[in-house]
A and B are shown apart, each in its own frame.
Chain A
């Protein structure tokens, strides 16, 4: 566990060190719609850009009114924290991220950049064709950057490594599904986030060891089982706070959580098509879930499957897609009797305020289980 935690805590260190060790190039990406396999096959290490809380005096000059994570990304890029990146790629998605991408593009002329149009209309019969066309463009760009063609077996290998990673991460979710979980939400999220920072081949080795460890582990006590919904996350502060109050997050529907690993690439002769189908077919982020609403139903199914007691919806301030999704999700959760608590967060988690919310929420949904100064909360008012 500590290994993963270290990766996450020093989220830029791994890539820097990898570059020194392997000598390869690093490709930074913004959201999880990037078909990483292509970059991996081209010998690059795809690394997810992670927001970080630190004093920010620069981003306001370049970007206005964005969410705090994107301000942080802008800040880090301008401060040169990401100067080890060789390339920066964005897929069509969050526009705040796009703004950060543009700022980087204009301020770091040496950075190789690419914009990949990922269809917002994911379920048209022509969407896959368009994505294949975009993948070919991306592939050509990667080949131009590296000066050599992406070999078929390299791509096969990349797809295999990524699929293995997804399978292992799914296995971790299976362990969380057990009635008495052997893994805490904060641990699982740490692994999840670390996997977006690491070379997947190495990650897979670590992960296998970790899963073996987990199988040996004694399960935790009966805890309130929660589901985490809302915007992407970059730290496990919230999970840890939840755990300190006697609950556990057992499943999530975050774009960089469960949705990142939920489906695998199914082998096809046409590899671009195989990748296109994988990414079009993944559980969608709020932004891409813009035609027929699929998220509410998926959330309900996960809630049933993981037998959750309630849901926490934590939306980043200024995250519009999630703001617009609340309506349908709240409605469905209410109709089906799944209690939820909604709150906004930014990069700082006001611990006390959140603790008060959570205490009240937990004692509402399972009064007997709340840990408040060693006493059980009375059942009635």
Chain B
């Protein structure tokens, strides 16, 4: 696979086949089982839903962007459907497409919209989502449990945390109870604990992968490839043991590639980072940037932890950030233990836009430093509140630290509304050309 301008050896990823197989298996399993599908946010409740035999959760973000990527005309129609019912035109693409389809009553292929059987609204992550879930009940009075998303700023405060965890634990335990009662399904406590253990293992493997991506030049894995397996085991539900095995497989391969200087992108000459999950059109622009020899290493979000999963220790070495993700001292014996373990990290390590002192001031610069980045591409997503919050400031901070930053206006999150693609690509040209980089392989 020699390309023009190639500097390093590259070869296809081997875990690809396994990933496809797992994904296909998952697809089959959801088609063959009768699942009670509810609306919820994976961040807050995926953990418990999987301990029920047949409870499924759909989140409006992935659902919306999936619809939009299937068909732009249909996404537009969804947007119109919600607009005429009063939704502001600045409601983001995720919401508009997903709930627009509900308003229409059908999906892109003409099949009926899968109305949710229950709903768990999650406020706070983003104002766009603050009221999410109400749309479900506007249609049909299905059961609803709200789940608060508590965060705070400032120094660690055990008292504050405890009150937040109690508040959330109450909601979560009540949800589990009510679902058992209403849908006649038994919550499998053993499976719940098994899942939590599996997650913590996956977390360790994924941090290994991040370390390898950050510290190896050329990077053995680009974020473009990483994203294609990213959701395996979380959004894409597979057996806990299989999940762990798969992530080990990925880690091992990436490690091998790193040791043997196998590059993700053969002409790597510019390493850049992002500050958020990419928009739906990401594949296209990752590839476009690769034509300049510019490889994307992902964002703090992509590396699973708000602040980035690595940190520079006082002695200058780089290591995994000490995370309290699954506190070592917490027993994992009862359901309540499990619930608290689930909830603790969210409170202690708030979602990326409500950040503590450390994260706000330093994290993105430290992230760029650890990942040996040359620049950053930061997206302002029009109308995406949570997606865009503080982005301009981060750009400023990175620039002051000497990174070359491109701030661009993307689409609305979720669909292609407001995306001026040609303008965006020209901005990428500008970004590259002003640094003296030219397209390779023309």
* In-complex A–B contact (CB below 8 Å): yes
List residues of chain B with CB within 8 A of the CB of A291. 121, 144, 146
A residues adjacent to B (C-beta < 8 A): 60-65, 92, 94-96, 98-99, 102-103, 105-106, 114-115, 117, 119-121, 124-127, 129-130, 132-134, 136-137, 286-287, 289-293, 315, 317-331, 342, 344
Question: Is the beta-carbon distance between B388 and A98 smaller than 8 angstroms?
Answer: no
Question: Is the beta-carbon distance between B164 and A117 smaller than 8 angstroms?
Answer: yes
Question: Is the beta-carbon distance between B88 and A323 smaller than 8 angstroms?
Answer: yes
Question: Is the beta-carbon distance between B126 and A62 smaller than 8 angstroms?
Answer: no
Answer whether A64 and B388 are a contact pair too, CB < 8 Å, given A291-B121, A317-B90, A324-B131. Answer: yes
Question: Is the beta-carbon distance between B85 and A327 smaller than 8 angstroms?
Answer: yes
- Identify the interface centre among A103, A290, A321, A325: most chain B CB within 10 Å of its CB: A290
List residues of chain A with CB within 8 A of the CB of B381. 65
Contact of A130 among B164, B383, B392 (CB under 8 A): B164
B109 at interface by CB-CB < 8 Å: no
CA distance A220 to B7 in the complex (A): 83
A-B contact count (CB 8 A): 169
Contact of A102 among B86, B87, B382, B390 (CB under 8 A): B390
CA distance A119 to B388 in the complex (A): 23
CA distance A130 to B161 in the complex (A): 10
CB distance from A68 to the nearest CB of B (A): 12
Question: Is the beta-carbon distance between B123 and A95 smaller than 8 angstroms?
Answer: no
Question: Is the beta-carbon distance between B90 and A121 smaller than 8 angstroms?
Answer: no
CA distance A292 to B396 in the complex (A): 40
Question: Is the beta-carbon distance between A129 and B393 smaller than 8 angstroms?
Answer: no
Question: Is the beta-carbon distance between B88 and A324 smaller than 8 angstroms?
Answer: yes
CB distance from A152 to the nearest CB of B (A): 21
7 closest Cβ contacts across the A-B interface?
A323-B88, A326-B86, A133-B163, A120-B123, A121-B148, A115-B153, A64-B380
Known: A92-B124, A125-B170, A291-B121. 15 other contacts (CB 8 A): A62-B392, A64-B380, A65-B388, A102-B393, A106-B360, A106-B393, A117-B152, A130-B163, A137-B157, A318-B90, A320-B90, A323-B90, A327-B82, A327-B135, A328-B134
List residues of chain B with CB within 8 A of the CB of A130. 148, 150, 163-164, 166-167
CA distance A236 to B88 in the complex (A): 23
Identify the closest chain A residue to B385 (Cβ): A95
Contact of B166 among A92, A121, A126, A318 (CB under 8 A): A126
CB distance from A285 to the nearest CB of B (A): 10
List residues of chain A with CB within 8 A of the CB of B146. 120-121, 124, 290-291
CA distance A342 to B166 in the complex (A): 41
List residues of chain B with CB within 8 A of the CB of A286. 131
B residues adjacent to A (C-beta < 8 A): 82, 85-91, 95, 121, 123-124, 126-128, 130-131, 133-135, 137-138, 144, 146-154, 157, 159-160, 162-164, 166-167, 170-171, 353-354, 360-361, 380-386, 388-393, 396
Answer whether A326 and B123 are a contact pair too, CB < 8 Å, given A98-B389, A117-B152. Answer: no
Question: Is the beta-carbon distance between A329 and B86 smaller than 8 angstroms?
Answer: yes
CA distance A330 to B84 in the complex (A): 11
CA distance A105 to B385 in the complex (A): 19
Of the A-B pairs whose beta carbons lie under 8 Å apart in the complex, a sample of 24, sorted by A's number, is A65-B384, A94-B127, A102-B390, A102-B393, A115-B153, A117-B150, A120-B123, A126-B171, A287-B127, A290-B123, A290-B133, A291-B146, A293-B134, A293-B138, A320-B90, A320-B128, A323-B90, A324-B88, A324-B91, A327-B85, A327-B86, A327-B138, A330-B86, A344-B88
Question: Is the beta-carbon distance between B383 and A124 smaller than 8 angstroms?
Answer: no
Question: Is the beta-carbon distance between A320 and B148 smaller than 8 angstroms?
Answer: no
CB distance from B358 to the nearest CB of A (A): 13
- Identify the interface centre among A63, A103, A322, A344: most chain B CB within 10 Å of its CB: A63
Answer whether A102 and B360 are a contact pair too, CB < 8 Å, given A293-B134, A320-B385. Answer: yes
CA distance A290 to B137 in the complex (A): 11
CA distance A63 to B380 in the complex (A): 10
List residues of chain B with CB within 8 A of the CB of A289. 131
Answer whether A322 and B167 are a contact pair too, CB < 8 Å, given A92-B124, A290-B123. Answer: no
CA distance A200 to B353 in the complex (A): 35
- Identify the interface centre among A124, A129, A132, A137: most chain B CB within 10 Å of its CB: A124
List residues of chain A with CB within 8 A of the CB of B152. 115, 117
List residues of chain B with CB within 8 A of the CB of A330. 85-86
Question: Is the beta-carbon distance between B393 and A320 smaller than 8 angstroms?
Answer: no
CB distance from B89 to the nearest CB of A (A): 8
- Identify the interface centre among B90, B91, B159: most chain A CB within 10 Å of its CB: B90
Contact of A287 among B86, B130, B154 (CB under 8 A): B130
CB distance from B348 to the nearest CB of A (A): 14
CB distance from A46 to the nearest CB of B (A): 19
CA distance A365 to B258 in the complex (A): 73
